[in-house]
Amino acid sequence: MTRAWLIGAGPGDVELMTLKATRALGQADVILVDDLVNPDVLQFARADASIVYVGKRGGHPSTPQEGIVAQMLEHLHAGRSVARLKGGDPFVFGRGGEEQQALHAAGIEVEIISGITAGIAAPAAIGIPVTHRDHAQGVIFVTGHGAGSSEPDWGALAATHMTLVIYMGMRRLNDIVGALLAAGMRADTPCAAIESATRPEQRHALSRLGEFADAVARAGLGSPAIVVIGGVASLALARAAAASSSDTASSPDAK
């Protein structure tokens, strides 16, 4: 029987995929794969499955969304089972909601298989909890990719005093930092940026808001990356400071 899945592949580490996701990949005739998916997860696909790369990444050439939906419908109408494989979770800045709507409009039911979103996994990878009773009553996931009328209301976000986890914000980091400072957010607010989280090439930068954009630039970080702004990031800053002190104390030159 023809089936359709929207599958979250998780933040990058293959072992962070769910068992349900791996089982679904093993049933699909066709797998449409996003650019940010770790290719190693395709080890769970059938040997005879058709793998179609439909990369979507901000700032890079990508397959139009309409083209992706058209491909899904073409295969489904031909009687093939289709898995749409996305990085993170399909319903967190993954356009999974749009694809679900399109399939439903065509009379096709689709199974949603959640994945661990990078907005939680990336901070955790460097020891940052997105909520903490001493630092934040909640967390807000927001895209930094907006422009014009779709620009997030950074003033309103700053006023919540909650953890801000920003997706797709690296290209506009200077503007975002400036808007938060202009809205009254303290310059000493802890911040972190994590690139390629949970993968071997993972890197990060820690700083206070006033120097954050410069610190990220000096570290040479780029996309894909998650930005965390708020008191919870102080836990990573404290750990980094402790590690630095330990290294200094153990140095042969230490007095």
**DSSP secondary structure letter of residue 185:** -
Q: Is residue 251 part of a domain?
A: no
Residues 110-151 pLDDT 10s? 999 999 999 999 999 999 999 999 999 999 999 997 645 578
User: Does a structural domain hold residue 210?
Assistant: yes
Distance CA(163)–CA(230), nearest Å, equals: 5
Rounded CA gap, 235 and 127, in Å? 7
From 81, 96, 113, give the residue that closes a domain.
113
Output the pTM of the full model.
0.89
CA dist., res. 52 & res. 35, Å (int): 11
What pLDDT is stored for residue 237 in this prediction? Answer: 87
Q: Does the pLDDT of residue 58 top 50, yes or no?
A: yes
Active site residue 168: yes
Q: CB-hemisphere CA count at 13 Å for 105?
A: 9
Residue 1 is among the residues annotated as catalytic for this protein: no
- Active-site position among 17, 162, 168, 185: 168
Kindly report, residue by residue over 155-197, the tens digit of the pLDDT.
999 999 999 999 999 999 999 999 999 999 999 999 999 999 9
Alpha-carbon distance of 29 to 45, in angstroms, equals: 9
Between CA 162 and CA 203, with CA 139 as vertex, the angle to 5 degrees is 105
Two tokens, residue 50: 């058709």
CATH of the domain at 155: 3.30.950.10
- Tell me: do 15 and 104 sit in the same domain: yes
Please identify which of the residues 56, 72, 170, 185 carries the catalytic annotation. Answer: 56
* Catalytic-role residue among 13, 17, 29, 34: 34
pLDDT of residue 245: 59
pLDDT attached to residue 156: 96
Active site residue 48: no
Whether the pLDDT of residue 62 is over 90: the answer is no
Range of the domain at 190: 118-241
3-state secondary structure 141-168: EEECCCCHHHCCCHHHHHHCCCEEEEEC
246 DSSP β-pair partners: none
As a whole number of angstroms, the distance between CA 121 and CA 8 comes to 13
154 and 236 share one domain: yes
The pLDDT of residue 57 is above 60: no
Q: Please give the Cα distance from 253 to 67 (Å, whole number).
A: 61
Residue type, 221: L
Contact 202/125 with Cβ under 8 angstroms? yes
For residues 139 and 218, state if they share a domain.
yes
Residues 127 and 107 in one domain: no
Q: 115 with 7: CB under 8 angstroms?
A: yes
% pLDDT > 70, the chain = 90
Q: Are residues 92 and 175 in the same domain?
A: no
148 in a domain, yes or no? yes
What total of structural domains would you count in the chain? 2
Helix (H, G, I), strand (E, B) or coil at 233: helix
Alpha helices in the chain (DSSP H): 19-25, 65-77, 96-105, 118-125, 154-159, 173-182, 209-219, 234-250
